[in-house]
Chains A and B, each alone.
Chain A
Amino acid sequence: MKFLVENINKNSGRLGLLDLKAAGGGIQLKTPLLMQTTKGGSIPYLSADLFENYVQNKNGQEPVPVLLQLTLSTMQQMAESLALWPASLSHYLGFPGQGNVLLLRDPCESTPSGGNDRDVAPIFTRQGKESLTPERYMEIIASFKPDIYQGLCDADTNLESSKKRVQKSVDRTERFMDYIYEQHGKLQSTSSSLLAPIVGGYNIFARTQSIKHARQQPEGKYSGYILEGFHNNGLSATALDGSQLLPIVEHCVKQLEENKIKMMPGAYSPLIILELIHIGVDVFDTSYAYCAAVNFKALVFNYDEKSIEPRPTPFLDITDEAIKEEFVPLLDNCKCLTCQKHTRAYVHHLYKTNELLGPILLMIHNLHHFMGFFETIRSSIAQDKLPKLIDLVCKQNGDSKVDYSIEKNVKVISKAVVGKGFETTTES
Chain B
Amino acid sequence: MSPSNIPPLTYKVVAECSVTKARAGLMSLRHSDVNTPVFMPVGTQGTMKGLLPDQLIELNCQILLGNTYHLGLRPGIETLRKAGGLHKFMGWPRAILTDSGGFQMVSLLQLAEIDEKGVNFRSPFDNSECMLTPEHSIQIQNAIGADIMMQLDDVVKTTTTGPRVEEAMERTIRWVDRCIKAHDRDDDQSLFPIVQGGLDIPLRHRCVSALMERQVRGFAVGGLSGGESKHDFWRMVHVCTDRLPRDKPRYLMGVGFAADLVVCVALGIDMFDCVFPTRTARFGCALVDSGQLNLKQQKYKNDMEVIDKDCDCSTCKRYSRSYLHHIATNECVSSSLLSIHNVAYQLRLMRTMQEAIQRDEFPQFVKDFMARHFQTEPIPEWIREALAAVKIELPKDDATDATKEAKKRTTTS
Contacts and interface: CB of A to CB of B under 8 A. Distances in A.
A332 B136 CA distance: 37
B333 A92 contact: no
B331 interface: yes
Given A50-B52, A54-B54, A327 B73 contact: no
Given A81-B302, A352-B74, A422-B76, A346 B323 contact: no
Interface string B324-336: 0111001111011
Given A345-B83, A420-B128, A45 B332 contact: yes
B305 to A, nearest CB: 12
A407 interface: no
A353 to B, nearest CB: 4
A427 B125 contact: no
A49 B317 contact: yes
Contact of B75 (A50, A92, A341, A349): A349
Interface stretch (B20-28, B42-50, B157-165, B235-243): B42-50
Interface string B138-169: 01100000000000000000000000000000
Contact of A420 (B89, B90, B125, B325): B125
Contacts of A126: 330
Contacts of A419: 73-74, 76, 125
Nearest to A349: B75
Contacts of A93: 323
Given A40-B331, A421-B128, A84 B55 contact: no
A345 B86 CA distance: 12
B374 interface: no
Nearest to A91: B318
Given A80-B301, A423-B77, A350 B327 contact: no
Contacts of B78: 423, 425
Contact of B326 (A40, A86, A324, A325): A40
Contacts of B74: 349, 352-353, 418-419
Interface string A338-376: 000111011001101101110111000000000000000
A104 to B, nearest CB: 18
B326 to A, nearest CB: 5
B412 interface: no
A169 B16 CA distance: 76
Interface string A46-59: 11111000100000
Contacts of B82: 325, 327
Contacts of A85: 304, 320, 322
A269 B123 CA distance: 43
A346 B123 contact: no
Contact of A356 (B123, B301, B335): B335
A43 B55 CA distance: 17
A48 B49 CA distance: 17
A421 B122 CA distance: 8
A39 interface: yes
Contact of A337 (B52, B79, B90, B336): B52
Contacts of A48: 318-319
A75 B323 CA distance: 10
A295 to B, nearest CB: 15
B117 to A, nearest CB: 15
B132 interface: yes
Interface band, chain A: 35 or more
A352 B73 CA distance: 11
A50 B55 contact: yes
A40 B315 CA distance: 16
A57 B84 CA distance: 33
Nearest to B79: A325
A420 B126 contact: yes
Chief secondary structure at chain A's binding surface = loop
B327 A41 contact: yes
Contacts of B130: 421-422
Nearest to B324: A94
Contacts of A359: 332
Contacts of B205: none
A363 to B, nearest CB: 10
B132 A355 contact: no
A324 B318 contact: no
Contact of A355 (B45, B55, B76, B139): B45
B319 A94 contact: yes
From A342, A343, A419, name the one whose CB has the most chain B CB atoms within 10 angstroms. Answer: A419
B54 A46 contact: no
B216 to A, nearest CB: 24
Interface string A305-337: 000000000000000000011010000000001
Contacts of B326: 40-41, 75, 77-78, 81
Contacts of A78: 323, 326
B51 interface: yes
B314 interface: yes
A40 B330 contact: yes
Given A54-B54, A325-B79, A345-B83, A356 B126 contact: no
A420 B123 contact: yes
B384 interface: no
Contacts of B319: 48, 94
Contacts of B140: 422
A201 to B, nearest CB: 32
Given A359-B332, A360-B336, A42 B53 contact: no
Contacts of B331: 39-40, 42, 44
B45 to A, nearest CB: 4
A352 B49 CA distance: 14
Interface string A394-423: 000000000000000000000000111111
A422 B132 contact: yes
Contact of A418 (B50, B53, B125): B125
Interface in A83-137: 84-86, 92-94, 96, 126
A93 B49 CA distance: 22
Nearest to A82: B322
Contacts of A355: 45, 47, 49
Contacts of B320: 85, 92
B409 to A, nearest CB: 40
15 contacts: A44-B332, A44-B333, A47-B318, A47-B336, A49-B318, A78-B326, A81-B326, A85-B320, A85-B322, A341-B53, A350-B46, A356-B335, A357-B52, A420-B125, A423-B76
Given A418-B125, A420-B125, A422-B77, 16 more contacts: A43-B333, A44-B332, A46-B333, A48-B318, A54-B54, A350-B46, A353-B46, A353-B70, A356-B50, A357-B51, A357-B52, A359-B332, A360-B336, A361-B52, A421-B128, A425-B139
Counting from the closest, the 6 A-B pairs by CB-CB distance are A94-B318, A421-B123, A49-B314, A419-B73, A356-B50, A40-B331
Interface of A: 39-50, 54, 75, 77-78, 80-81, 84-86, 92-94, 96, 126, 324-325, 327, 337, 341-343, 345-346, 349-350, 352-353, 355-357, 359-361, 418-423, 425, 427
